Every structure is written in C-alpha cells, then in structure tokens.
Homo-oligomer: A and B are copies of this chain.
Amino acid sequence: MMTTGTAAPPAPLLPGELDRPAAPPTRTKRVTEAVAAARRILEEEGPNALTMRRLADEMGIRAPSLYKHLSGKADLELLLIEDALFDAGEATHRALHDPGPHSPLLNLLVAYRAFAMTRPNLYRLATSGPLVRQSLPEGLEDWAGNPWFVVTGDSSLAQALWSLAHGMVILELDDRYPPGSDLDATWRAGAVAFERGAAVSERSVDEFVWSTVTRAPSSPQDPVAPRLSDG
C-alpha cells in the first residue's frame, strides 16, 4: 500500500540516489476510498471488471455520483498509476538499502520482479499505453526510476536494464514465453549480461548509430485526457 506523505525512517541516501518526491496532490477521503476500491477490483477481478458502475457499487453509490469526485475513468486510472509508481519506487529504493543476499543489481531485479508479480494487473495498467507524463506529480517518475541509475551508474545502461526488467516482467505476466520455459534461467541470463556490462567502461564499443531506424510518420495512438483536479 501507498503511504502518502508519511515520512519513512530516514535512511541515508546512497551516492546518486534521489530523495522521495513531494507527496501527490491531496486526495479527498472519498477519492482515496475510490482508488482503494478500484485497486481491489482491478487486482481481484481483473481489468474488465473495473467499470464505473462496478466501482460505484463497491462504494455503495451509483455510477454518476462518482463524477462528483473524479473527472472520469481516465482520472481514476491516473491515480492508480500514481500509486503504482510510488509503490514501485518504494520497493526498488528499499532494495538498494536492504542487505540483500546478492549484488545490488540482482537485488534490484528480484525486487522489481516480485513487485510486479504481486500486483500484476496494477503493473500492467501502470506500464501499458502512452504515459500522461504532465499529469503526474513532479519528480515522481524520476524518483521511481532512480534506483536503476544508482545500480548501473550510467543513464543509458540504466534505461536498458529497466527495459530488460520490464520486458521480462510483462512477457511473464502475459504468458508470452513458450510454455515450459525456465523463467528463472531467463532472468539469470539477463542479470549476468548486465552484471558484466555494468562493470565495464561505457564506450568500449564501435560508434554504432541507429539513424536508419525511425518511427512511422504520425501514427495515431489513443488520445488521453489531461488530468482534472478533484471536483
């Protein structure tokens, strides 16, 4: 669960580690309840069950009344994503400090995988589709991604390692690996590659450019409504 604003035991920051960002914009009691209920429904009954009517039901009211507290479903999902990012940040930062049995990099991977596996639907919701970046609390995204930098010491390597972790997590959640795959071995293989890569100088490679790779011109995605404040 998310501990909004309550100060944690102040562990000394590691070199390169960011401090926890300001708490997210204050939430009404009722909004907090709605988010909690939504989270419960999402995780226990799946994403299809998370409808405005079902959510209202869970709160003992009718669907239209939800709009007295939330601007719409997109707003609700944004709040869930906020929670997920806070939780993920907490879990991964903790992995940096806890005396895990392995290397920091491996501890981080283990923590990330465990985080995702224990709340798969929330993880999927928070990491799939275009991100509504400007609606998130200031600094949250940076803080949540910071452990990957702390562990690798390089921003490109950090992004690559996070990509690997996310890729493995989401493919595992979606059952995309061939049946019978030894996923632990897959994670191990990935960890090994980066464990070795992180220790090595950043630019021992030929200057390869990806310039031939470009995005298809103006490929539309789904529009995402900007966040509205509590009404």
Residues of A near any B CB (own CB < 8 A)? 43-49, 102, 106, 110, 113-114, 117-121, 127-131, 133, 141-142, 145, 154-157, 159-160, 162-168, 170-171, 174-179, 181-198, 200, 202, 204-205, 208-216, 219-223
List 26 A–B pairs whose Cβ atoms lie within 8 Å, in order of A's numbering: A43-B216, A44-B219, A46-B219, A47-B221, A48-B222, A49-B220, A110-B210, A114-B212, A117-B215, A118-B216, A120-B219, A120-B221, A133-B179, A155-B181, A156-B189, A159-B177, A160-B164, A160-B189, A162-B167, A163-B190, A164-B167, A166-B167, A184-B209, A184-B211, A193-B196, A195-B205
What are the residues of chain B within 8 A of A175 when measuring CB–CB?
Answer: 130-131, 133
Most chain B CB atoms below 10 A, which of A128, A198, A214, A221: A221
Q: Which residues of B contact A155 (CB under 8 A)?
A: 181
Q: Looking across the interface, which residue of chain B has its beta carbon closest to that of A198?
A: B193
Instruction: Assess the A189–B159 pair: CB atoms within 8 A.
Output: yes
- Decide if A163 touches B186 in the complex (CB within 8 Å): yes
- Cβ A214 vs Cβ B156 within 8 A: no
**Contact (Cβ within 8 A) A46 B221:** yes
For residue A170, which residues in chain B have a CB less than 8 angstroms away from its CB?
A: 166-167, 170
Q: How far is the CA of A27 from the CA of B193 in the complex (A)?
A: 43
| Contact A46 B222, beta carbon cutoff 8 Å | yes
A157 and B189 contact, CB distance less than 8 A: yes
Contact of A156 among B163, B171, B185, B196 (CB under 8 A): B185
What separation, in Å, do the CA atoms of A121 and B154 have in the docked complex?
31
A128 and B128 form a contact (CB under 8 A): yes
Nearest opposing residue in chain B for A191, CB measure? B208
Bound complex: CA of A8 vs CA of B167, how far in Å?
32
Which of A162, A193, A214: most chain B CB closer than 10 A? A193
Complex formed: what's the CA distance from A121 to B130 in Å? Answer: 12
